[in-house]
Amino acid sequence: MEDVAHFIARFLKEQGVDRVFSLCGGHILPIWDPLHRLGIRIIDVRDERAAVHMAHAHRELTGRLGVALVTAGPGMTNAVTGIANAHVSRAPVLVISGVPPRPQENMGALQAIPQAEMIRPVTRYARTIRKAEHVLRELDEAVACAEGHCGEPGPAFIDFPTDLLREEMPGAFIDPSRFRAREPVRVTPTPESIRAAVDILRRAKRPLVISGRGARGAEEGLLKILDGLGCIYMDTAESRGLVPEDHPAYMPAMRGRAMQEADAVLTVGRTLDFQLGYGSRAVFPNARFVRIGLAAGELRGNRRADVELCGSAPEILETLASMLAGETPVTDRLWVDEMRSVDRERRRGLLRKLGESPPGKDGAMHPYRLLGHVRDALQEDAIVVADGGDFLSFARVALSAGAYLDCGAFGCLGVGVPFGIASALAFPERQVAVLSGDGSFGFNAIELDTCRRHRARVVFIVANNAGWNIERNDQKQAYGGRIVGTELEGCDYAMLARSLGVHGERIERPGDLPDALKRALDQAPALLDVIVTRDAQSPDAVAGLPGIPDRQALSTWDEREKKAQGVSPAIEY
Ligand X SMILES: Cc1ncc(C[n+]2csc(CCOP(=O)(O)OP(=O)(O)O)c2C)c(N)n1
- Tell me if residue 244 falls in helix, strand or coil: coil
- Residue 529 engages ligand X in binding (rule: CB under 6 A): no
CB of 212 closer than 8 Å to CB of 269: yes
Q: What is the dihedral of CA 241, 242, 248, 254, to 10 degrees?
A: -70
- Tell me if residue 58 falls in helix, strand or coil: helix
Among the residue ranges 263-271, 320-328, 411-419, 518-526, the one whose residues contact ligand X (CB under 6 A): 411-419
The whole-angstrom separation of Cα 51 and Cα 74 is: 14
- Residue 390 engages ligand X in binding (rule: CB under 6 A): yes
Residue closer to ligand X (CB basis): 295 or 470:
470
The residue whose Cβ lies closest to ligand X is 437
- Residue 539 engages ligand X in binding (rule: CB under 6 A): no
Q: Is the dihedral of CA 278, 268, 146, 18 positive or negative?
A: negative
Nearest to 5 by CA among 136, 126, 128: 136
- Residue 388 engages ligand X in binding (rule: CB under 6 A): yes
Residue 246 CB neighbour total at 10 angstroms: 7
Map the footprint of ligand X across residues 474-493, applying CB under 6 A: none
The whole-angstrom separation of Cα 171 and Cα 151 is: 33
- Residue 82 engages ligand X in binding (rule: CB under 6 A): no
Site size toward ligand X (CB under 6 A) is: 18
- Residue 389 engages ligand X in binding (rule: CB under 6 A): yes
Residue closer to ligand X (CB basis): 278 or 391:
391
Residue closer to ligand X (CB basis): 128 or 533:
533
Residue closer to ligand X (CB basis): 318 or 471:
471
- Residue 411 engages ligand X in binding (rule: CB under 6 A): yes
Compute the least distance from the CB of residue 416 to ligand X, in Å.
9
Among the residue ranges 35-43, 227-235, 408-416, 550-558, the one whose residues contact ligand X (CB under 6 A): 408-416
Q: What is the x/- site pattern for ligand X, positions 414-453, by CB under 6 A?
A: x----------------------xxxx-------------
Residue closer to ligand X (CB basis): 319 or 469:
469
CB of 126 closer than 8 Å to CB of 83: no
The whole-angstrom separation of Cα 38 and Cα 86 is: 27
Secondary-structure breakdown of the chain: helix, strand, coil percentages, each rounded to the nearest 5? 45, 15, 35
Residue closer to ligand X (CB basis): 140 or 474:
474
- Tell me if residue 92 falls in helix, strand or coil: coil
Compute the least distance from the CB of residue 252 to ligand X, in Å.
20
- Tell me if residue 148 falls in helix, strand or coil: coil
CB of 155 closer than 8 Å to CB of 122: yes
**Which distant-in-sequence residues (6+ apart) come within 8 Å of 531 by Cβ?**
364, 365, 464, 465, 506, 507, 508
Compute the least distance from the CB of residue 511 to ligand X, in Å.
22
183 burial class (0-12, 13-18, 19+ CB within 10 angstroms)? exposed
Nearest to 460 by CA among 379, 362, 527, 524: 527
117 is annotated as an active-site residue: no
- Position among 89, 331, 357, 465 found at the interface with ligand X (CB under 6 A): 465
Compute the least distance from the CB of residue 469 to ligand X, in Å.
3
- Residue 470 engages ligand X in binding (rule: CB under 6 A): yes
Residue closer to ligand X (CB basis): 84 or 264:
84
Among the residue ranges 3-11, 151-159, 321-329, 467-475, the one whose residues contact ligand X (CB under 6 A): 467-475
Among the residue ranges 82-90, 265-273, 294-302, 409-417, the one whose residues contact ligand X (CB under 6 A): 409-417
Residue closer to ligand X (CB basis): 109 or 527:
527
CB of 504 closer than 8 Å to CB of 527: yes
Q: Is the dihedral of CA 368, 373, 378, 380 positive or negative?
A: positive
Q: What is the x/- site pattern for ligand X, positions 127-166, by CB under 6 A?
A: ----------------------------------------
Q: Which helix (H) or strand (E) holds 53?
A: helix 48-62
Compute the least distance from the CB of residue 449 to ligand X, in Å.
21
Compute the least distance from the CB of residue 463 to ligand X, in Å.
6
Candidate list 14, 141, 167, 471, residue with the active-site label? 471
| Backbone φ and ψ of 154, nearest 5° | 165, -170
Q: What is the x/- site pattern for ligand X, positions 334-373, by CB under 6 A?
A: ----------------------------------------
What residues are annotated to the active site? 471
Residue ranges binding ligand X (CB under 6 A): 388-391, 411, 413-414, 437-440, 463, 465, 467-471
